[in-house]
Amino acid sequence: MHAQLTVVHMWEIDAAVGMGDLGEGNMDWQLLDVLETQQRRRMDELVQPLARKYPNAHVVKVFQDVSPAKGLTDLSREAQLVVVGSHGRGRLAGSILGSVSQNLIHHAECPVLVVR
């Protein structure tokens, strides 16, 4: 089987560095570079065992500065299945699914599997 596995990491830069609505002019670019390097390295660490375990799978890594809900919904247009974890820490704290999972269930253009 020659399948493609797309591993996705999406983050909003402003939220990641705690800038919120302060704008780009106030952003600590060195901190951003360090955070991005750490996130990319962590992604590589997570993907390597999958690539070894499934050598016939074509593994693609996607790393984007976009809200996870929007980015995953956009990527769902070209996917056969979206698998997403849920920890329920979004605005709907205490709910069964997190806000990203909820968004995908309602807006994805392919089936969605939510893993808890």
* pLDDT digit string, tens, across residues 28-57: 778 888 888 998 999 999 999 988 998 888
Q: Can you give the pLDDT at residue 96?
A: 61
Whether domain 67-116 has CATH 3.40.50.720: no
Q: 92-103 pLDDT, tens per residue? A: 554 566 788 999
How many CB atoms sit inside 10 A of residue 50's CB?
Answer: 12
The answer to whether residues 18 and 70 touch, using CB atoms and an 8 Å cutoff, is no
Checking if the pLDDT of 19 tops 60, the result is no
Percent of the chain at pLDDT exceeding 70: 78
pTM comes to 0.73
Domain range summary for the chain, segments of one domain joined by +:
1-66, 67-116
Distance from C-alpha of 88 to C-alpha of 98, rounded to nearest angstrom: 4
